[in-house]
Structure 1
Amino acid sequence: MGRRTATQILEMRGSFKANPQRARPKEPKASRPFRKAAPRHLTEAQRRCWKEIVQRCPAGVLTNADEHQVELVAVLLAEFRADSEAMPTTRLTLLGRYLDKLGLSPSGRASLTVGQPKGNDFDDV
């Protein structure tokens, strides 16, 4: 099965202008914004990693549907920082893959498509 591009991304590209019947109106969408506070069950080191990940993710990428993935990345990143030499290669590979999917690598950022902010702080100057 091939990878599917999210409907929201296709809409921003203008893919449905010529063929609006190809839109997938039943595709699930995130209903709430991302919660920036780390879950209470994480350790202190994992919470620091959560905060760092959230601060470094490109604006507009995270929604409430991404909380589990950010939690997983925070746990793996804390494990890496605690003892990187003992961390199995498979877990390092997972960490790299998940960081990429969140846009925390050059190739990951290149593959993201997010809406542009409505204005900027210097518009009124």
Structure 2
Amino acid sequence: MTGKTAPLCGTLTPEQIRVMHGHGTERPGSSPLNFEKRTGLYRCAACNAPLFRSETKYESGSGWPSYYDALPGAVETQTDTSHGMTRLEVHCASCKGHLGHVFPDGPRPTGQRYCINGVALDFVPDPA
């Protein structure tokens, strides 16, 4: 990812703007998506790009929706050294909106934990 952030499209709430454009974090445990169990697609709240499938979602105990893999080409990462630590920040590859962070402590098969702010996502259930 380049250092530039593209303007976010769509209508976002102030909290979504704070998280996605201001690189903020929602309160742990505050997202209803933590409890979402249906099969479906998680899309970027800003540009509607597909990001994650429900089959890769798992309960990490972190307080944020977590996934062990993103859809191919859907996200980009960048080193984040804020808050006195080094992490990999995750952005939507389409609009560059901040989604969360990825850590190397997830389950198989990838070993990755995409720890994503629920306000950065829209869930679309698969048709019945």
TM-score bracket, shorter-length normalisation: under 0.3
Whichever of the two has the greater Rg, that structure is: 1
Structure with the larger RCO, 1 or 2 (CA within 8 Å, 6+ apart):
2
State the TM-score, normalized to the length of structure 2.
Answer: 0.25
Name the structure with the higher strand share: 2
Name the structure with the higher helix share: 1
